[in-house]
Amino acid sequence: MTATTRLALLVLGLGLILGSALASPYPFGTKVLPTDIDFGRPLRSYAAPNPLPDFSVGYWETGVVNGYDDTDVVYLHQGLVAGPGAPGVFANDVRLTPFTYLPAGSKVTPSDNDIGMLLSPLPISPPSGPFPAIGWVNLYGGPGHDLQDPVYLHQGNVVPAPIPTIANDVRLTAIGGNQPGTKVGNLDPDLPLIFANPIPLTSPNFITLFVGLPATQFPTSIAGAAIRYVDINGNSQYDYPDDVYLITDNPLPAPPAILAVRVNDLRLSAPVS
């Protein structure tokens, strides 16, 4: 090993250690409080040199049961989920559901057994459509999304109202003892709950977000919702140490204003080790 190679490995190792030290310590599926250390951190849009067009959502068909079900793994993926040029699960994709001993919120590494697995878009369940959405349920009747309201990845749109949760929707927050990253079951008490109506678009903390395929249309956010990341190691691209958030700011500030992590934003990744 040359001296240059040793130096490069040393720098890489120090970068990973520093990145882990600066990353958010809070669990996947928790919402930001004003006293949290990641409150106010600057956020980045997902753009080049990251795989375009943006984050999307897909699942790996594990084959235990044919078709999307509770055994399949769901990912927040970088770029195309399927179609020409889509290589499957990337390193640093986020697992939104567990895979074996790897928990929801963990990031894929090159040595993991799910690296490169073929991804498919989530199926759409009528009357929802035409694309998957992240939506929330207004449990306590407030004017907008707040800390107690659960958030789900739904197999379809959440408009027109009323649209209920369905089996195998993914919980992105805890509710009733069910943890983030679990899927809604046929006998669970949150089946069905009705998603908050995203009309009018001027409602406060509007967080409905459409994610998926086709690439020419996804991910398309409306009102204030977006998925952004904190560039923990400062290399101007999304990678392993970076924390991922569902942003609920309404409206998103126009450039060159800097978007920052704020109260009620939802953590879509777990602490890295």
pLDDT tens digits along 188-223: 999 999 988 766 554 544 555 655 443 334 343 444
Contacts by 4-10, CB closer than 8 A, 24 or more apart: none
Q: Residue 73 domain-assigned?
A: yes
Digit-coded pLDDT (tens) for 102-117: 999 999 999 999 999 9
| pTM, to two decimals | 0.86
**Sheet of 94-95: strands edge to edge?**
55-60, 73-78, 94-95
Q: Measure the CA–CA gap between 220 and 217, rounded to whole angstroms.
A: 6
Based on the structure, what is the number of domains in the chain?
2
Of the residues 73, 90, 122, the one at which a domain ends: 122
Q: Residue 194 domain-assigned?
A: no
* Domain match, 69 and 41 both: no
Q: What's the token pair of residue 120?
A: 């498919």
Tell me the residue type at 169.
D
* Domain match, 224 and 261 both: yes
Of the residues 103, 122, 141, the one at which a domain ends: 122
Q: Residue 152 domain-assigned?
A: no
Q: Cβ atoms within 10 A of the Cβ of 176, count?
A: 9
Q: Residue 259 domain-assigned?
A: yes
* Domain match, 42 and 77 both: no
Residues of the domain holding 32: 3-46+220-267
For all residues of the chain together, what is the average pLDDT?
82
In this structure, are residues 96 and 153 in contact, taking their beta carbons and an 8 Å threshold?
yes
